[in-house]
Amino acid sequence: MDGSDSMAKENDKPAPGGLKKDPALFTGMVEFKLKQGVAKETIIEEIVQKGLTPAQAKSLTHRVSERLEILAVREAVDFVSVALAAVGALVAAALGAGLWVLADNIIWSHLDFMAVPAGALIGFGARLVSGRRGVPIQITAAVVAVFCIGAVEYFLDVPALSCAPVSKGGMEMIRGFSCVGIKTAGELARDIIWVGPALLLSLWIPRRKKKN
Domain ranges of the chain: 2-68, 78-204
% helix / strand / coil in the chain, to the nearest 5? 75, 0, 25
Q: If we measure between CA atoms, which residue out of 122, 132, 126 comes closest to residue 152?
A: 122
Give residue 25's pLDDT: 78
Cα dihedral 161, 165, 115, 190, rounded to 10, equals -130
Degrees, nearest 5: CA angle 71-77-83: 140
Q: What is the pLDDT of residue 188?
A: 64
Cα dihedral 77, 83, 85, 88 in deg (nearest 10):
-140
User: Quick one: pLDDT at residue 87?
Assistant: 96
* Inter-residue contact 138 to 207 (CB < 8 Å): yes
Q: What are the pLDDT tens digits along the chain (212 aa)?
A: 444 444 444 444 544 444 456 777 788 888 888 888 888 888 888 888 888 888 888 888 888 888 888 777 666 567 888 899 999 999 999 999 989 888 877 877 778 888 899 999 999 999 999 888 888 899 999 999 999 988 887 766 544 444 433 333 444 443 334 444 455 566 666 667 888 889 899 999 988 766 54
pTM above 0.75, yes or no: no
Beta carbons within 10 angstroms of residue 14's beta carbon = 17
Instruction: List the one residue out of 144, 117, 116, 118 whose CA is nearest residue 130.
Output: 144
